[in-house]
């Protein structure tokens, strides 16, 4: 059976959810890096990170790229609320199922919020965080006041999307729409056709700013100053409250730093993990 994105592996969780994921690199290539994608119509780990995780694997790291429930090729239950705790529990179940006891969490947008939430719930399981415009550091109203978020949600919940509408939504994520190619549109459109509307309509992510001081692991962050989905001022909250954090701000960049500045992002992350002793040949998970 054909799928909108390449098929990787599947694992069934104790909760009954099935999680689809891609895996690459050396199993003993330092602490595993788990890539956590953002939300939105048709999102998947592969589409978010296909320009990144192969480079991490080529550098000798063990990488896993799961699709969160409701996204990609993973289970998409209609009878749940897609709140942060649901995603954090699913991530924990996934890591348990694949035998990962300690990892680096690398997350964009919703994936960044999941990474923060998971670190607060399971601090000893996270060696470091890499965040790109993470959610979870503003009240819900602040996110939904953003122009990109408003248009994305209204488009997805108003009825069936066509491919032109998908291209329009994806163009909101980036500063230069030229990087939105037909392959990406088809990947996201194909996944979107399988998603219940409750994936976005029930989504709730709390503001975790008051708990950021609890995050003791090192944090590397990136934010595009032209982001129309997450207020760029969120970087200041992480810098102020996290004991060990650094952030890079990029101009002419929207919500997808990992795609818009792909080579720079890959290079900086790999050097950062090497400097922390978490990359290939330095520390075993």
Q: What are 116-139's pLDDT values in tens digits?
A: 999 999 999 999 999 999 999 999
Task: Give the per-residue pLDDT at 201.
Answer: 87
Residue 280 inside a domain? The answer is no
Side-chain half-sphere CA neighbours of 269 within 13 A: 28
281 backbone φψ class: left, alpha, beta (φ>0; ψ -120 to 50): left
| Residue 68 per-residue DSSP state | P
Percent of the chain past pLDDT 70, that is, above it, reads 98
Mean pLDDT of the chain: 94
Confidence of residue 280 (pLDDT cuts 50, 70, 90): low
Cα separation, 264 vs 266, whole angstroms: 6
Q: Enter the pTM of the model.
A: 0.96
Look at strands 18-24 and 9-12 and give their pairing.
Answer: antiparallel
Tell me, yes or no, whether 268 lies in a domain. yes
Count the helix, strand and coil residues of the chain and give each as a percent rounded to the nearest 5.
40, 15, 45
pLDDT tens-digit series, residues 10-65: 999 999 999 999 999 988 778 999 999 999 999 999 999 999 999 999 999 999 99
The CATH number linked to 105 is 3.40.50.1820
| pLDDT at residue 221 greater than cutoff 70 | yes
pLDDT band at 269 (very low <50, low <70, confident <90, very high): very high
Considering its fold, how many domains does the chain have in total?
A: 1
pLDDT (0 to 100) of residue 154: 82
Is residue 283 pLDDT above 70, yes or no? no
Per-residue pLDDT, averaged over 100-107, amounts to 98
Distance (Å, whole) CA 132 – CA 112: 7
Strand ranges for 89-244 from DSSP E? 103-108, 126-132, 219-224
pLDDT at 158: 77
Within-domain flag for 183: yes
Q: Is the predicted pLDDT of residue 284 greater than 70, yes or no?
A: no
**Chain segment 227-247, per-residue pLDDT in tens:** 999 999 999 999 999 999 999
Reply yes or no on whether 122 is catalytic.
no
| pLDDT number for residue 128 | 98
Q: Is residue 151 over pLDDT 90?
A: no
- Residues 37, 62, 175, 255: which is the catalytic one? 255
Q: Has residue 96 got a pLDDT over 90?
A: yes
Q: Looking at the domain assignment, is residue 284 inside a domain?
A: no
Structure confidence at residue 200 (pLDDT) = 87
Strands 245-250 and 219-224: parallel
Structural domain of 269: 9-275
The arithmetic mean of pLDDT across residues 247-262, rounded, is 98
pLDDT at 125: 98
Structural domain includes residue 171: yes
Q: Edge-to-edge strand order for the sheet containing 33-36?
A: 9-12, 18-24, 63-66, 33-36, 103-108, 126-132, 219-224, 245-250
What pLDDT, on a 0 to 100 scale, did the predictor assign at position 144?
A: 86
Evaluate if residue 282 carries a pLDDT over 80. no
Q: Residue 49: its pLDDT value, please? A: 98
User: Is the predicted pLDDT of residue 272 greater than 60, yes or no?
Assistant: yes
253: confidence class by pLDDT, cuts 50, 70, 90: very high
Flag whether 2 is in a domain: no
User: What is the structure's pLDDT at 52?
Assistant: 98
Q: Is residue 69 part of a domain?
A: yes
């Amino acid at each position: 059976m054909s799928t909108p994105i390449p098929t990787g592996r599947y694992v069934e969780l104790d909760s009954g959810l099935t999680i689809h994921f891609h895996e690459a690199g050396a199993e003993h290539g330092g602490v595993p890096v788990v890539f956590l994608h953002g939300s939105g119509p048709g999102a998947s780990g592969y589409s978010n990170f296909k320009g990144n995780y192969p480079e991490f694997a080529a550098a000798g790291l063990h990488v896993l790229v799961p699709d969160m429930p409701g996204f990609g090729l993973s289970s998409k239950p209609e009878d749940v609320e897609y709140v942060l705790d649901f995603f954090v529990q699913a991530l924990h179940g996934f890591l348990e199922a694949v035998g990962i006891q300690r990892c680096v969490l690398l997350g964009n947008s919703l994936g960044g919020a999941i990474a923060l939430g998971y670190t607060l719930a399971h601090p000893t399981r996270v060696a470091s965080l890499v965040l790109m415009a993470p959610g979870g550091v503003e009240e819900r109203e602040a996110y939904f006041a953003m122009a990109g978020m408003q248009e994305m949600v209204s488009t997805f919940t108003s009825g069936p999307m066509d491919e032109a509408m998908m291209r329009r939504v994806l163009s909101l994520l980036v500063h230069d729409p030229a990087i939105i190619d037909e392959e990406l549109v088809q990947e996201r459109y194909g996944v979107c056709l399988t998603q219940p509307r409750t994936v976005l309509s029930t989504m709730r992510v709390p503001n975790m700013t008051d708990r950021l001081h609890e995050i003791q692991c090192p944090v590397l962050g990136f934010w595009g100053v032209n982001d129309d989905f997450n207020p760029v001022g969120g970087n200041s909250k992480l810098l102020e409250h996290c004991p060990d954090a650094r952030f890079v701000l990029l101009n002419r960049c929207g919500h997808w730093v990992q795609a818009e500045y792909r080579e720079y992002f890959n290079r900086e992350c790999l050097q950062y993990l090497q400097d922390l002793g978490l990359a290939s040949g330095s520390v075993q998970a």
